[in-house]
Structure formats: structure tokens, C-alpha cells
Amino acid sequence: MNKVLRLALYTLLALVLTSVFALVLIVKFALAPSSGEWSERVRIIGPVEAELGMPTVLRLATVSWFAPWLSGHTLDTRFGPVLLGWNATSKSLVMTCAPCQWSEPELGDKPIALESFEITASRDVDLLTGTLRATPAGSQAAGGATDLRGRWNGRLTQKGLSLSFDVGSAPIAQWYQLLAPGLPELQRARISGTATIQAKFSLPERTYSVKPSLTQFSVEGLGVTSLMVSRAAACGPSAGLSEGSWVAKAALGALDPEYKDHPGYDPASLMVASEVQPGLSPASGEKPAKKRNDKAAPKAGAPAAATGAGGAVSVRQPAPPPTLDERVVRLLLPPLPNAGQQRLRELLYVAELERSPGKDGLLAGFLDMAPWGDNICGAEAAARRYFKRSANGLAPAQAVWLATLLDDPAGRVARWQSEGQIDRERARQVVQGMKDVNGGQRAALYSTLSRAKFPPP
């Protein structure tokens, strides 16, 4: 009897092993990539991995005669468990991650958490379309107004997959609670306005672009005006400079020529994008052979590069120069260790500055607290230190020279002291950026500054 049981057990074990081996062979050979096809190394069973042609996998997962077999299966991913389903009416694959979370170092140590994230996918030949719905953690009404909803589409080729996402209008406050729930300012900030997001993503390059658009963005409750008043008072008496003063015109020409036309931030600065570094294979990450005179170090001022999954190197484009509003926030608050969280906090204060004190009050406040080198802050103190007169009494050329110091106060004053003369090229750039100056005034400034000799302090 025992021999019969052992024989049955061995037979069953052999059948199981044979089935597993057959399954591995079927997956490995049926889904093997063709020459030049986009492929990824995927774990099949346990430690067994195989190189699979991803276009074939995606086509199979979205075809109506096979996809229903996936329904009810759960995949364990690094974001959370993903339940697969099939909607027979719309003929679309449904993937639901619940709960779902992922970490983004730039946004701090706390992971982005969702109660659920659902994405649908249907295919018509090589065109993919679908919807997405995200329910932030802590939501009390799943499927209600708290959800973030959007649509996506993509084009599948043998070489890769290009995706476009469009997330519909949602309260900006909701995005803050999702992306930066740990910001202390969220406890007292009253945030108005809505945001939409457009994004693009390419595989296997893993390049992306994310473009938010903000509408009627406004913030109250942070007390930023009081912070400005306190900071300016520490610099001494106010210069009382108006928007039409030469110092104010020159300061805007030096730092923010479009000050009157933007909402406190450059909309282009909200965009996050990357691209594959030229000369690198996105699929393999292999670099071409170097020539003997190749340099390993990047050129100064070049965009930062980071190695992504699969070895591809993406290059993040440099941010535009800060606006005057952003400079004020950076003077008032110490920086946060995480760049993304710092940027989100900065936007809150910028939005409040635009509401109160507004453009004119913000400009006057900045001039009263800005650093001007030589351990001096405030335009009045700077004018008396460098030109022995009040800021309102400066000649136009003197005002321009004072404004040239603003982008690098300590460095430019040190250069002034070492060389004994003004930086004429920088002064010319400031004049070029000045608004509300007619042609005759601009020509007179160019002429005066070309001959000016302001003695260093």
C-alpha cells in the first residue's frame, strides 16, 4: 500500500514539475522578443526569469479572448497589491492597486499614499486608451468629489510605448494633501484654485514630462506680510521707494523684467521633464566607446543627469531663474532638505504674496530687506554706504550700479573692491532689462555707465 501511495505521489510531483517546466517554456518562447523589439527581463516563477517582448505581452494582456483569464488574479508589486479585472462591456482590462503607495525622495520621507488607484486599458490594434482614478488616503467618499480622475492614451510599436495622461481639474488643496501632507503650512493655509495636469511618458527610455496648470491659485493665512515687515525692520529705516523710482526699475531689470506680467512664478518652472542623454542606448544603458580626449566630468552649467531604471540616463532640464516673489520667500524662510517639498511650500507663500501685499507692496518690501553685500541689507543702507546719499536721491546710473549687486551681493562687491571699477557688461544687461524707460533715457544710461567710475567701499 505504501509503495502505491509513494508511486502516486511521485507521479503527481512529476506532473506538476512537468507542467511548470512546460509553462516556463511556453512563456519563454511564445513571448520571446524578436530582433530589435523592446524587451524586459521578467520573473516568471520563483527565481526563474526570462527576457520577454513587451509589445507582445501588452497585446496579449488586452486582447478580449485572453484578458478575461487574468480577471481575479493579484500581482504583488512594490506599490501594493494589484488586482486584475475585465470589463466585458467596454472590453478593457481593469487594474486596481489598493492600498497603493510609493516614495518620492524629493517630496520628503513620507510616502505618497492612496486608498486605491484604478487604471483601465483597452486596445484597438496598436492604439491604447483608458481612464484612471486615484482616491487619496483618508478619503471618506471613495468615488466621490475627492477622487482625482483622468484619461490616457498611448501608441504601441515594436520599439516601445508612448503614453499621454490628462488629469482633469481638481482642487489645488487636494494635490497638496496628496503630495506633501507633512507640510506644517497646510495646517493654517487656506488654499483656493484648481489644477490640471498633462503628462507624457515613454518606454523603454523612461523619459517623462509633467506639466501642471493652475487656475485662480490663491492662499491666505500664512502671515507672510508680517514676516516681511519684521525682516525689513531689522535692516533699518525704509527707503520708501515707489515702483517708478530708478532703484525699483533697475532692480526689476536686474532680477525679474517680467515681474508685472507673471502670477508670482514662471509657469514654465512648474514643468518637470527629462530626456535620454545623447549617445546612450535607452534599452541597455550601454555607452559608446570613449575617444581618448573624452572628458568624464560634465560641463559647468549643464543639466543634471541621473541614472534611471534599466541603466538609461535621463537629463533634467535646469529651472528658470527665480522670480522676485520667490527670492523674497527664500530670504524669509530657511530651505527644506527636499527639493520638491521646498518648491511646493514656496508656491504657497508666493501665492499669498501676490494677494497681499500685492505687486507694489512686495517690490517695496524686497528693496527694504534685500542683501546688497558688505553685510548690508536694505536699499537705504546700501545707498548711504556706497554713495553717501538716500536711495531716493540716487542718480539713474547709480541706481543701476546698485541693482547690479543684487544677483550676487557678496561676490560682486568683492570684485568691485578688487578691480576698483564697476562691471560695465553687467550694468548694460540691467539697463536692457529695465521697463518703463524710453529710448533717450536708455541711451543716456548706456553712455553714462560706459564712463562711470564709482569708487569701491
Higher pLDDT, 319 or 248: 248
Query: Quick check: 407 pLDDT over 90?
Result: yes
Residue 335 lies in a domain: no
Please write the tens of the pLDDT for every residue from 60-96: 889 898 889 889 989 888 899 999 999 999 999 999 9
Domains: count for the chain: 2
Which residue type sits at 52? L
pLDDT at 306: 47
* Mean pLDDT, range 208-231, rounded to an integer: 96
Q: What is the pTM of this model?
A: 0.83
pLDDT at 41: 77
pLDDT at 39: 86
Nearest to 185 by CA among 27, 344, 314, 69: 344
Residue 281 lies in a domain: no
Domain that holds residue 41: 29-53
Last residue of a domain, one of 13, 37, 53: 53
Nearest to 398 by CA among 415, 418, 422, 376: 422
* Mean pLDDT, range 183-193, rounded to an integer: 96
Lowest-confidence segment of 128-142, 274-288, 398-412 by average pLDDT: 274-288
Higher pLDDT, 80 or 20: 80
Higher pLDDT, 415 or 305: 415
Query: Quick check: 357 pLDDT over 70?
Result: yes
* Mean pLDDT, range 373-393, rounded to an integer: 96
Residue 61 lies in a domain: no
Query: Quick check: 125 pLDDT over 70?
Result: yes
First to last CA, the chain: 106
Residue 248 lies in a domain: yes
Please write the tens of the pLDDT for every residue from 221-249: 999 999 999 999 999 999 999 999 999 99
Residue 393 lies in a domain: yes
Query: Quick check: 29 pLDDT over 80?
Result: no
pLDDT at 140: 53
Please write the tens of the pLDDT for every residue from 411-443: 999 999 999 888 999 999 999 999 999 999 999
Query: Quick check: 307 pLDDT over 60?
Result: no
Query: Quick check: 362 pLDDT over 60?
Result: yes
pLDDT at 405: 97
pLDDT at 111: 87
Contacts for 76-80: CB closer than 8 Å, 24+ residues apart: 78/102, 79/117
- d(CA 1, CA 6) in angstroms, rounded, equals 9
pLDDT at 289: 41
The alpha carbon of residue 404 and the mean position of all alpha carbons in its chain are separated, in whole angstroms, by 30
Residue 274 lies in a domain: no
pLDDT at 263: 96
Residue 230 lies in a domain: no
Query: Residue 379 is part of a domain; what is its CATH number?
Result: 1.10.3810.10
Query: Quick check: 31 pLDDT over 70?
Result: no
Nearest to 350 by CA among 246, 179, 245, 214: 214
The alpha carbon of residue 194 and the mean position of all alpha carbons in its chain are separated, in whole angstroms, by 18
Query: Quick check: 277 pLDDT over 90?
Result: no
Higher pLDDT, 13 or 441: 441
pLDDT at 138: 75
Residue 23: band (very low, low, confident or very high) from pLDDT cuts 50, 70, 90: very low
Whether 204 and 40 have beta carbons less than 8 Å apart is answered as: yes
Residue 10: band (very low, low, confident or very high) from pLDDT cuts 50, 70, 90: very low
Query: Quick check: 49 pLDDT over 80?
Result: no
Residue 441 lies in a domain: yes
Q: Which three cell numbers stand for residue 309?
A: 531604471
